[in-house]
Amino acid sequence: MDAVRVALLREVLAGTQWLGATRRFGAVLRGSVVSHGGGLLLVGTARHEPWHLAAHLVDEAAWSGTPELAPTLVRHHARPSDPAHLAVGLGRIEAARRGETLLVASPESDPALLERVSDARRAGVTVLALGPGERELTALSHETLTVPEDSELDLDTVQHLVSAAAGEAAAPRGRRGLRDRLSRLAESLTAPPPGPW
């Protein structure tokens, strides 16, 4: 979904809880990786690896000039023969330390992942969760954006809004001017795409 479609989606969602919720969560995500500088780990479940969200965060990192937003995709079935950016296994979560951020994004819960997330939190990792609001994961998370199964928006759409919000430059007090918003939109539409995945 490109910047124009995200802008149109935001217009449609104006006045709903989703616009504010995704912007708040995106701001927390951005603030966590920028202020701590320890890097962003992104993980899903064995059945749902968040490739799409990873790609959008890489795009937003490039377009916003915030390299900290580019995540390390942690995979359940990573193989040493995979390309380097796809060969990061669950051991990376065990190695995570204070200053790093772990974003768990999945439409389902994964009890096997909870123990690793719990260990990471005890090690000082900031834990964020994006998904159905599974009780145990929510309890482990510093911030959660719940996307219920019966919601009017699916997780994929919410991920677009969150990644766009995370990539937005921190606005000065008050609203950004129309000229600034149009300039950012024009830059994002004319910028070359980041390298392929």
Tell me the pLDDT tens digit for each residue of 114-133. 999 999 999 999 999 999 98
Percentage with pLDDT > 90 across the chain: 54
- pTM score of the predicted model: 0.82
pLDDT band at 6 (very low <50, low <70, confident <90, very high): confident
CATH of 3-170+177-190, one of 3.40.50.10490, 2.30.40.10, 3.40.50.1390, 3.30.43.10: 3.40.50.10490
37 pLDDT exceeds 80? no
pLDDT reported for residue 112: 85
At how many degrees (to 10) do helices 178-190 and 3-13 cross?
140
* List of residues 6+ apart from 47 with CB closer than 8 A: 108
Q: Of the given ranges (34-48, 86-100, 113-127, 128-142), which has the lowest mean pLDDT?
A: 34-48
Where do the domains of the chain lie?
3-170+177-190
Q: 3 vs 12, which has greater pLDDT?
A: 12
Task: Spell out where the chain has E strands.
Answer: 40-43, 72-74, 101-105, 126-131, 143-146
CB–CB of 161/26 below 8 Å?
yes
Cα–Cα dist 112/96, whole Å: 17
pLDDT reported for residue 190: 67
33 pLDDT exceeds 60? yes
pLDDT reported for residue 192: 66
Distances, alpha carbon 193 to alpha carbons 2, 156, 160, 170, 197, in Å: 11, 21, 17, 22, 11
CB atoms within 10 A of CB 138: 14
Q: What angle (nearest 5°) sits at the alpha carbon of residue 171, between those of residues 20 and 155? A: 35
Cα–Cα dist 40/37, whole Å: 9
pLDDT reported for residue 7: 80
pLDDT reported for residue 109: 84
Structure tokens at 62: 């490039």
